[in-house]
Amino acid sequence: MTVVENQEVAECGCFLNAWLWFNKFVKKLMFKVVDNAKSAKKLGQEDPRRIVHSLKVGFTITLVSLFYYFEPKFHYEGFGVSAMWAVLTVIVVFEFTVGATLGRAINRGIATFLGASLAGGVHRLACFSGSKTLEPILLGIFLFSIAAIVSYLRFLPKLKARYDYGVLIFILTFSLVSVSGYHDKQVLEIAHTRLSTILIGCAAALVVCIFICPVWAGEELHNKISSNLEKLGSFLEVFGTEYLNTAHGADSEQKGSDLQGYKSVLNSKSSEEVLANFAKWEPRHGKFRYRHPWAQYLEIGGTARDCAYRIHALNAYLNYETQIEQEIRTRIQEPCMKVSTECGHVLKALSLAMKTMTYPLTIMVHIDNAKLAAENLKTLLHTNSSWEDINFSAVIPLATVASLLIDIVSYTIKMVESFDQLATLARFKKTNRFAPVRIRTGSWKRKRVMPEPSTENVHHHTIAAE
Amino acid sequence: MTVVENQEVAECGCFLNAWLWFNKFVKKLMFKVVDNAKSAKKLGQEDPRRIVHSLKVGFTITLVSLFYYFEPKFHYEGFGVSAMWAVLTVIVVFEFTVGATLGRAINRGIATFLGASLAGGVHRLACFSGSKTLEPILLGIFLFSIAAIVSYLRFLPKLKARYDYGVLIFILTFSLVSVSGYHDKQVLEIAHTRLSTILIGCAAALVVCIFICPVWAGEELHNKISSNLEKLGSFLEVFGTEYLNTAHGADSEQKGSDLQGYKSVLNSKSSEEVLANFAKWEPRHGKFRYRHPWAQYLEIGGTARDCAYRIHALNAYLNYETQIEQEIRTRIQEPCMKVSTECGHVLKALSLAMKTMTYPLTIMVHIDNAKLAAENLKTLLHTNSSWEDINFSAVIPLATVASLLIDIVSYTIKMVESFDQLATLARFKKTNRFAPVRIRTGSWKRKRVMPEPSTENVHHHTIAAE
């Protein structure tokens, strides 16, 4: 081979390499695009309201923009500052749920009014000084101190939860208005324009958000808590049949989704709190009054989470290959199954009752059954004669499962009590004689043999970085 | 008494009532103000960086405002639109940590550029049509479809976590620029002004945020995980001495804070994830390189949370009044104490090593001790002869505690392994021969008698509403 031929081969190799690399890159890119498109499609299939929301946002923005586009009087400055604020307001205020949109709109409206008023006052005060050199110094001092104080107040957890956006807009409006004009008249005009355009933007966003396929945060919270109870109930129902039944291997795969659903309950705290905060802004809608007891939902959610922690511990024993004699199994299986399935029934009944906003129909029977089964389980564990000739180490997992189930009974009863309070506060429909559970569950607690699980509310530990 | 006197008395009563009500109201108001002032003061005492942050925000806003106030060329439209955008950018972009500020600034800058470019293109395309009636229709169609598509994409979890703000600003800029001008020249000018002022605002915020007492999100995450490990370690150390020692009643109050600290770990998931997302934006700083393995921190945090769930279960047994004979106590107390305190030592050593970014010094001894103690505990539980003449029901809580402690040992080892990976990835200083734990802990797991706690990562369940 000559040198030229060699070079040609090398060049061919170069091109081939480049081609291969390019091919790989395109394939990778295509794969990524297809992957993202698939997950985007899935998002829409999971919750079609997301598609409706996007269309609503697009519609409102176009509406407000074109209104200002066609209205020539807003173009007096060649830019349409007003149009800008209205469009900006729509984009910033429009959220998925009505509560979030309302919260932002009200925050934005009131904060703009307060900020503009204060800025007007401060501007007038600075003008009183008369001298042209003193005025900016005074303005600067006011601006610095108010911005610093308000920024600091944003760290207050109470303020942060519901009014953070308002506080931000307050600083914003105050800074903009107080700095932007030299003359009193101008400041007033700016403040007035800003306030009116923001109100137009908020109104447009709210009307579309509330009257076209609204998504209510309160309803979301209601459904979320209800579905959490159902998930826990499903686990317990399936656990009752699956545990100690290693023969049911095929079934367990089928029921996998029922069994793993509870895991989303473990970390549901923050989303529940956010929804409850949004829900507080919402007016009366559907089955929910204004001032519906949203805090009570958080209480039920907290107990459900405590229950989910125990279920998480139970879950470890689910696929546990036992070397236990058939005898112990059958002896302990029956009460364990009973406790688990009855608690599952109770939670599912609660979930259904919450969905329909009625008092649950058949709940007392299941509570009584669960309590009875738990008592049986305790008696069984207490009777020394039952365990005399048995390998101690083989019984420990069973005893742990039993004690976890006994804990779960007490959490279930706590949830029923919280539900009862909710039903009273929210005036659920009474379709039957549902005696106040509070009284009837009192005696149960005192009789417990296992230590009371710590029921202190761990949900109030705020974390600095949150 | 005459009628007049009667009336006077009634009037007096009225005044008295009004006065009392007013007095009560003022007192209530004062109480609320004092209460809020106290909690505001506490916020500052807890973390003085909050005060510094507020001063930084005030300073930057004043700086940018006054710059525009004194620069007359920006007042050509009588309003100072440019000044407005710069001040607005500072207020909206400035966050507590550098990572959050950088993330918002980069998102805002790039999104503004992209949005303005696209709007310019769309405007030119609409202008091509030539007719004055077709132009707004075309613009409207573009605006609607782009706003709807981008609003929909905001639901994608990947996009939401890091680029949500950017996507919002993209729609914003696109709408503003595409609608605000009639002529090509004007659109370009608007786009240019908007981009340059936003860049000035971002630059001012970033310079102040980074160079004056910066708060790094990465360091926050690092310290948070480290302090979480310490909290778990403290609990285990104290649990070792407290459990079964009801005589130590006085001590337990003293150690209350050590024992309840772990509860903040249970719900730490969301704040850890937020911090990790912020940290990814941060440049090299202090001990942390760019692309520091932040994801590894989340893994350690996840295992720490799993461990905290078990500790939450243990906590229920802490103040449990036992009716157990002194004999069983002493027999089971020693290995339980050993496991608990050794695990506590390991976690505290890990926490300290993380703080100093070194390999832990004395950790292997404690791991070996914990494993040995756990083996002892297992052997004890397996030996039937140890429990022959004992009340079975009294042993169950002990057995449960023991099994929870054995679980905790395995989680501790998992944390050590994750820590080892982190130390390798982040190149911690090697101050001693710290053999790779991965190899040495392998045999332990296979020997376990209690079922493996489900170690599936429950932290990837995203919740629709989050």
Answer whether 0.90 is exceeded by the pTM.
no
Give the C-alpha separation, B238 to B254, whole Å: 11
Q: Given a cut of 50, is residue B455 above it in pLDDT?
A: no
What's the pLDDT at B449? 39
Domain count, chain A: 3
The residue among A128, A138, A149, A130 whose CA lies nearest residue A179 is A138
User: Chain A residues with CB inside 8 Å of B320's CB?
Assistant: 451
Q: Given a cut of 80, is residue B441 above it in pLDDT?
A: no
Q: Is A18 on the interface with B (CB under 8 A)?
A: no
Q: Which of A215-229, A279-293, A424-438 has the lowest mean pLDDT?
A: A424-438
What's the pLDDT at A124? 81
Q: Given a cut of 90, is residue A299 above it in pLDDT?
A: yes
Do both A32 and A161 map to the same domain? no
Q: Is A246 on the interface with B (CB under 8 A)?
A: no
- Mean pLDDT across chain B, nearest whole number? 79
Do residues A109 and A198 lie in contact, with contact meaning Cβ atoms separated by under 8 Å? Answer: yes
Q: Given a cut of 70, is residue A81 above it in pLDDT?
A: no
Give the C-alpha separation, A254 to A288, whole Å: 37
Residue B394 placed within a domain = yes
What's the pLDDT at B146? 92
Tokens 């942060």 locate to A160
The residues near A96 (Cβ < 8 Å, ≥ 6 apart) are: A49, A50, A53, A215
Do both A153 and A29 map to the same domain? no
Instruction: Give the pLDDT confidence of A9-65 residue by residue, as tens digits.
Output: 667 777 888 888 989 989 998 998 898 889 889 988 988 999 999 999 999 998 888
Q: How many CB atoms lie within 10 A of CB B420?
A: 21
Do both B25 and B60 map to the same domain? no
The residues near B312 (Cβ < 8 Å, ≥ 6 apart) are: A309, A454, A458, B262, B263, B266
Nearest residue of B to residue A176 by CA position?
A: B84
Instruction: Give the pLDDT confidence of B411-438 residue by residue, as tens digits.
Output: 999 999 999 989 888 888 876 544 444 4
Instruction: Give the pLDDT confidence of B81-138 residue by residue, as tens digits.
Output: 566 778 889 999 999 999 999 999 999 999 999 998 898 888 888 777 777 778 778 8
Task: Choose, out of B46, B112, B151, the residue to mutate when testing the contact with A (most A CBs < 10 Å).
Answer: B151
Q: Do A396 and B450 touch (CB under 8 A)?
A: yes
Q: Residue A398, exposed/middle/buried by CB under 10 A (0-12, 13-18, 19+)?
A: buried
Q: Which of A207-216, A372-381, B230-239, B268-277 has the lowest mean pLDDT?
A: A372-381
The residue among A96, A417, A414 whose CA lies nearest residue B155 is A96
A378 pLDDT band (50/70/90 cuts)?
A: confident
Do residues A145 and B58 lie in contact, with contact meaning Cβ atoms separated by under 8 Å? Answer: yes
Most confidently modeled range among A177-181, A192-196, A246-250, B311-315: B311-315
What's the pLDDT at A94? 93
> What is the DSSP-derived secondary structure letter of residue A358?
B
Dihedral of the CA atoms A316, A321, A326, A332 (nearest 10)? 0
Residue A43 placed within a domain = no
Q: What angle do CA A235, B316, B374 make, to 5 degrees?
A: 90
Q: What is the mean pLDDT of residues B137-163?
A: 89
The total number of residues shown for chain B amounts to 466
Q: Do B179 and A155 touch (CB under 8 A)?
A: no
Q: Which of A93-102, A161-170, A245-254, B424-433 has the lowest mean pLDDT?
A: A245-254
Do residues A135 and A127 lie in contact, with contact meaning Cβ atoms separated by under 8 Å? Answer: yes
Do both A315 and A450 map to the same domain? yes
Instruction: Give the pLDDT confidence of B230-281 residue by residue, as tens digits.
Output: 999 999 888 877 765 654 444 445 556 667 888 888 888 889 999 999 999 9
Q: Which of A16-30, A107-121, A311-325, B190-204 has the lowest mean pLDDT?
A: A311-325
Q: Do A58 and B148 touch (CB under 8 A)?
A: yes
What's the pLDDT at B165? 92
Q: Given a cut of 50, is residue A456 above it in pLDDT?
A: no
Do both B115 and B29 map to the same domain? no
What's the pLDDT at B386? 63
Q: Mapping DSSP to helix (H, G, I), strand (E, B) and coil, where does residue A317 land?
A: coil
Give the C-alpha separation, A123 to B184, whole Å: 38
User: Chain A residues with CB inside 8 Å of B172's CB?
Assistant: 87-88, 91-92
User: Chain B residues with CB inside 8 Å of A269's CB?
Assistant: 267
Do both B202 and B125 map to the same domain? yes
Token pair, residue A418, equals 């919280």
Handedness of CA B367, B369, B371, B374 (dihedral sign): negative
Residue B85 placed within a domain = yes
Give the C-alpha separation, A359 to A351, whole Å: 11
What's the pLDDT at B67? 76
Q: Given a cut of 90, is residue B391 above it in pLDDT?
A: no
A275 pLDDT band (50/70/90 cuts)?
A: very high
Please name every residue paired with B285 in a beta bridge, in sequence order, or none if there are none: B288
Q: Do A382 and B400 touch (CB under 8 A)?
A: no
What's the pLDDT at B52? 93
What stretches of A383-391 show up as alpha helix (H) in DSSP?
none
Residue B44 placed within a domain = no
Give the C-alpha separation, A398 to A322, whole Å: 10
Say which of A136, A269, A454 has its CB closest to residue B316: A454
Q: Residue B327, exposed/middle/buried by CB under 10 A (0-12, 13-18, 19+)?
A: exposed
Q: Is A108 on the interface with B (CB under 8 A)?
A: no
Token pair, residue B78, equals 């009588």
Q: Between A and B, how many residue pairs show a Cβ–Cβ distance under 8 A?
A: 292
The residue among B59, B350, B82, B361 whose CA lies nearest residue B195 is B82
> What is the DSSP-derived secondary structure letter of residue B285?
B
Q: How far is B61 from chain A (nearest CA, A)?
A: 7
Do residues A209 and A103 lie in contact, with contact meaning Cβ atoms separated by under 8 Å? Answer: no
Token pair, residue A76, equals 């007096």
Tokens 């009273």 locate to A424
The residue among A376, A349, A353 whose CA lies nearest residue A363 is A349
Q: Do A186 and B309 touch (CB under 8 A)?
A: no
What's the pLDDT at B13? 76
Instruction: Give the pLDDT confidence of A399-432 residue by residue, as tens digits.
Output: 778 888 888 999 999 999 999 989 888 888 876 5
Q: Given a cut of 60, is residue A362 above it in pLDDT?
A: yes
Q: Is A25 on the interface with B (CB under 8 A)?
A: no
Do both A143 and A4 map to the same domain? no
Q: Do A271 and B91 touch (CB under 8 A)?
A: no
Q: What is the mean pLDDT of residues B44-61?
A: 92
Residue A173 placed within a domain = yes
Task: Choose, out of A53, A63, A79, the residue to mutate when testing the contact with B (most B CBs < 10 Å).
Answer: A79
A247 pLDDT band (50/70/90 cuts)?
A: very low
Residue A44 placed within a domain = no
Q: Mapping DSSP to helix (H, G, I), strand (E, B) and coil, where does residue A429 land?
A: strand
Say which of B145, B312, B316 has its CB closest to residue A58: B145
Do residues B403 and A396 lie in contact, with contact meaning Cβ atoms separated by under 8 Å? Answer: yes
B440 pLDDT band (50/70/90 cuts)?
A: very low
What stretches of B129-216 show up as alpha helix (H) in DSSP?
134-153, 157-180, 184-211
Task: Choose, out of B45, B266, B275, the residue to mutate when testing the contact with A (most A CBs < 10 Å).
Answer: B266
**Residue with the larger pLDDT of the pair A315 and B345:** B345
Do both A139 and A258 map to the same domain? no
Q: Given a cut of 90, is residue A166 above it in pLDDT?
A: yes
**Residue with the larger pLDDT of the pair A327 and B219:** B219
Q: Give the range of the structural domain holding residue B392, as residue numbers without chain letter.
A: 217-465
Do both A165 and A238 map to the same domain? no
Q: Do B313 and A313 touch (CB under 8 A)?
A: yes
Q: What angle do CA A142, A144, A146 make, to 5 degrees?
A: 65
Which percentage of chain B shows pLDDT scores above 90? 28
Do both A224 and A93 map to the same domain? no
Rounded (10°) angle between helices A184-211 and A157-180: 140
Q: Which long-range contacts (CB under 8 A, 24 or more apart) does B202-206 make?
A: B202/B89, B202/B93, B202/B105, B202/B108, B202/B109, B204/B60, B204/B63, B204/B64, B204/B86, B204/B90, B205/B60, B205/B89, B205/B90, B205/B93, B205/B94, B205/B101, B205/B105, B206/B101, B206/B102, B206/B105
Q: Is A448 on the interface with B (CB under 8 A)?
A: no
B56 pLDDT band (50/70/90 cuts)?
A: very high
A445 pLDDT band (50/70/90 cuts)?
A: very low
The DSSP line for B220-251 is HHHHHHHHHHHHHHHHHHHHHHHTT-GGGHHH
What's the pLDDT at B217? 92
A66 pLDDT band (50/70/90 cuts)?
A: confident
Q: Which of A108-117, A249-258, A291-300, B221-230 has the lowest mean pLDDT?
A: A249-258
Most confidently modeled range among B12-21, B46-55, B315-324, B376-385: B46-55
Token pair, residue B63, equals 């700086």
State the distance between the two ends of chain B, measured CA to CA, in whole angstroms. Answer: 71
What's the pLDDT at A49? 92
Say which of B62, B387, B461 has its CB closest to residue A392: B387
Q: Which of A347-356, B169-178, B180-189, B207-216 has the lowest mean pLDDT?
A: B180-189
Indicate which CATH number applies to the domain containing B303: 1.20.58
> What is the DSSP-derived secondary structure letter of residue A68?
H
Q: Mapping DSSP to helix (H, G, I), strand (E, B) and coil, where does residue B288 land?
A: strand
Residue B167 placed within a domain = yes
Token pair, residue A111, equals 């904060």
A384 pLDDT band (50/70/90 cuts)?
A: low
Q: Which of A401-405, B20-24, B294-298, B457-461 has the lowest mean pLDDT?
A: B457-461
Amino acid, res. A340: S
The residues near B463 (Cβ < 8 Å, ≥ 6 apart) are: A264, A267, A268, A271
Domain boundary residue, one of A167, A193, A211: A211
Q: Is B76 on the interface with A (CB under 8 A)?
A: no
Domain boundary residue, one of B211, B239, B272: B211
The residue among A222, A202, A309, A231 whose CA lies nearest residue A272 is A222
Give the C-alpha separation, B262 to B307, whole Å: 10
What's the pLDDT at A272? 92
Residue B43 placed within a domain = no
Q: Mapping DSSP to helix (H, G, I), strand (E, B) and coil, where does residue B21 land?
A: helix
Do both B172 and B255 map to the same domain? no
Q: Given a cut of 50, is residue A451 above it in pLDDT?
A: no
The residues near B340 (Cβ < 8 Å, ≥ 6 apart) are: B236, B237, B239, B240, B243, B405, B408
Q: Given a cut of 90, is residue B189 above it in pLDDT?
A: no
Domain boundary residue, one of B157, B184, B211: B211
Q: Is B203 on the interface with A (CB under 8 A)?
A: no
Q: What is the largest CA-CA distance in chain A?
A: 102
Tokens 């001693």 locate to B432
Which percentage of chain A shows pLDDT scores above 90? 28
What's the pLDDT at A209? 92
- Mean pLDDT across chain A, nearest whole number? 79
Do both A22 and A54 map to the same domain? no
Give the C-alpha separation, B292 to B299, whole Å: 14
Q: Is A37 on the interface with B (CB under 8 A)?
A: no
Say which of A55, A69, A264 has its CB closest to residue B148: A55
Q: How far is A214 from chain B (nearest CA, A)?
A: 15
Rounded (10°) angle between helices B269-279 and B98-128: 70
Q: What angle do CA B170, B176, B180 make, to 5 degrees?
A: 155
Instruction: Give the pLDDT confidence of B357-374 residue by residue, as tens digits.
Output: 888 877 888 888 888 888
Amino acid, res. B105: A
